[in-house]
Amino acid sequence: MPFNTELTRALGIKVPIVQGGMQWVGYAELASAVSNAGGLGLLTALTQPSPEDLRKEIRRCRKMTKNPFGVNLTLLPAMVPPNYSAYAQVIIDEGITIVETAGASPGPVIKQLKEANITILHKCTTIKHAQSAVKMGVDFLSIDGFECAGHVGETDITNFVLLNRARQSLGVPFIASGGIADGQGLAAALAFGACGINMGTRFMCTVEAPIHQNIKQAIVEADESDTELVLRRWKNTSRLFGNKVAKQAIKIEKESPTGKFEEVAEYVSGKRGREVFINGDKDYGVWTAGQVIGLIHDIPTCEELVTRIEREALETLRAKRNLYIEDGVGKSKL
């Protein structure tokens, strides 16, 4: 096995790549394809309308892959929050051994899952939050840089700094999330001290991703400047694809004298965002995308993508071993 990291050993995977849990994207088709390719596929719990629907999706995914896969459970702010404990119980009952958690106040859910001996990967956008998660007993941390899609936090710290801080100050293994789409990115993450990577937007642009072809093509045609930060005014900043609806929401957000969220609620509706992936109209609603869209130029299968990233990473790491430096006397091999 070319890769032997804390992540591959703990999760029983071949390549240290985790597919991000993405709303309306993390279905069995994608998760199983990533797992079959040697990475870790993730179902997104809240994509399913009820805990029992999640149970059915877990069983469907299990028929599509014999390899390990996990479930993402994100705790989001809501007037009437989902029954997170019920979702967690289904995960436990169905024998899932790996869960990615994220969001606010995850303590009770993490405790429930840890009591069932489930391996927890927790996503954080700051070192402070990561340290709090360590105290909760998580097994791995997913360090999310400001480049990432979706909820980026409020500190605007990129992975170049965050990963180094994680290496310096965290007592548990971590993976890098945000801004990674290729083997060079995996090699860089390993050099920073990470034991793997998490990719969301890159996996959206694969054959098996259950979204409309037009959206995949929009990602291919975009560059790294084609995202927008929305909802900063309400301390719920999200990085979204920079389409017409996102720009309209930003205009209202910046110009509204009242600052009422209701004024932008229609524009940032999750229901409209879901329809984008079905109808293929990239401007119909908001949808998440990271700055990494500038690095995505094709729509491969998950097998092709994971194999390519594995090869590129190994080639990059081997090449760096053969670097030479001038020491004032002659050349010395690093």
Question: What whole-number percentage of the chain has pLDDT above 70?
Answer: 96
Residue 329 confidence (pLDDT): 53
Q: How many CB atoms lie within 10 A of CB 55?
A: 17
pLDDT tens for each residue of 78-110: 778 899 999 999 999 999 999 999 998 899 999
Residue 334 has pLDDT above 70, yes or no: no
Q: Are 143 and 161 within 8 A, CB to CB?
A: no
Which helix H or strand E contains 41, and what residues bound it?
A: strand 41-44
Q: Which amino acid is at 6?
A: E
Per-domain boundaries in the chain: 6-211+308-321
DSSP 15-69: SSEEE---TTT-SHHHHHHHHHTTSBEEEEGGGSSSHHHHHHHHHHHHHH-SS-E
pLDDT tens string 6-25: 999 999 999 999 999 999 99
Tens of pLDDT, residues 103-146: 988 999 999 999 999 999 999 999 999 999 999 999 999 999 99
* Sign of the alpha-carbon dihedral angle for 193, 195, 198, 199: positive
Query: Are 166 and 141 a contacting pair, CB within 8 Å?
Result: yes
Query: What's the pLDDT tens digit per position in 258-311?
Result: 989 999 999 999 999 999 999 999 999 999 999 999 999 999 999 999 999 999
Strand-pairing partners, residue 17, are: 197
Whole-number Å distance between alpha carbons of 300 and 242:
24
Q: What is the average per-residue pLDDT within 232-237?
A: 94
CATH of the domain spanning 6-211+308-321: 3.20.20.70
Tell the residue number behind the tokens 């548990």, with chain if given. 172
Query: Residue 214 is encoded by which pair of tokens?
Result: 């037009």
Q: For the whole model, what pTM was predicted?
A: 0.94
